[in-house]
Amino acid sequence: MRRPDWAPESIDIERPSVARMYDYYLGGSHNFAVDRAAAQALIAAIPEAPLMAQANRAFLRRTVRYLVGAGVRQFLDIGSGIPTVGNVHEIAQQAAPDARVAYVDVDPVAVAHSREILSGNDQAVVIQEDIRHPERILDHPDLRKLINFDQPVALMIVAVLHFIPDADQPAQIVKTLRGPLVPGSYLALSQASHEGRTDEEREQAIAIYERTDSPLAYRGRDEVAKFFHGFEMVEPGLVWVPEWHPDTPESVEGAERAVYIGGVGRLT
């Protein structure tokens, strides 16, 4: 007898989780031995891996601050992972206490952890859903309760789409998520790119992520640009993430080694 679609999946913490590996790169300890083993394997292949993650996390921080500055008060952060250090609600609510944040992640452990962190914060929720089902995300009652789609929303898809292969139609996913956004909303997006990497490094990274819950799908700048279809790019456009509104001129040094490319687009 075949299990029906609605049967839940079991929790497998024997498999490396990309959310917890990312936490490890950032210097966190919200991870298990399997996660550390996989992360260390990647660091062995690409020693700057933690720096890349940090650069991407810093991109997230700068975009949130930028967006709060631009007047956005609602954030929909998809693929939020383990929202520990430098999470969206802390950055946004620090700058604008009325900011509301909805986190979405597919990893049940990350979601359980987020829920613990967010307990007591009635301006933030977390829902467990796969970005591959964008309509389910948008229809989720918890999300609908917090996010008012009549007002601008910042859609954050940061360091997620490289886990979505072309077969899952990531552009269509972004398009669906863009659907209910009103003008004045934003898309902040970054993803791992193969540009600036040697073939060998790329192959090694792909091999390591094959063992995790989310295999890698690298994309070039042209492909990532397509995700912004319908958005007007904010200066400086789609760049290596350290180059996006850097804090200091020095922090742009060696930006191409950051692997992540990203940018922010505005819906007009």
CB of 83 to other proteins, least distance (A): 11
119 binding other proteins? (CB under 8 A): no
> How many whole angstroms separate alpha carbon 162 and alpha carbon 155?
17
By beta-carbon proximity to other proteins, the closer residue of 113 and 162 is 113
164 binding other proteins? (CB under 8 A): no
69 binding other proteins? (CB under 8 A): no
36 binding other proteins? (CB under 8 A): no
Distance of CA 83 to the CA centre of its chain: 11
Residue of the chain from 111, 131, 208, 241 that contacts other proteins (CB under 8 A):
111
By beta-carbon proximity to other proteins, the closer residue of 57 and 140 is 57
By rule CB under 8 A, what string of x and - marks binding of each residue 209-248 to other proteins?
Answer: --------------------------------------xx
By beta-carbon proximity to other proteins, the closer residue of 86 and 215 is 86
Residue of the chain from 21, 41, 57, 73 that contacts other proteins (CB under 8 A):
57
CB of 60 to other proteins, least distance (A): 9
85 binding other proteins? (CB under 8 A): yes
CB of 167 to other proteins, least distance (A): 26
* Per-residue three-class SS string for the chain: CCCCCCCCCCCCCCCCCHHHHHHHHCCCCCCCHHHHHHHHHHHHHCCCHHHHHHHHHHHHHHHHHHHHHCCCCEEEEECCCCCCCCCHHHHHHHHCCCCEEEEEECCHHHHHHHHHHHCCCCCEEEEECCCCCHHHHHHCHHHHHHCCCCCCCEEEEECCHHHCCHHHCHHHHHHHHHCCCCCCCEEEEEEECCCCCCHHHHHHHHHHHHCCCCCCCCCCHHHHHHCCCCEEECCCCCEEHHHCCCCCHHHHCCHHHHCEEEEEEEEC
CB of 113 to other proteins, least distance (A): 4
Residues of this chain that interact with other proteins (CB under 8 A) are 1, 3-4, 6-11, 13, 20, 25-32, 50-51, 53-54, 57-58, 61, 82, 84-86, 90-91, 108-113, 115-116, 247-248, 250-251
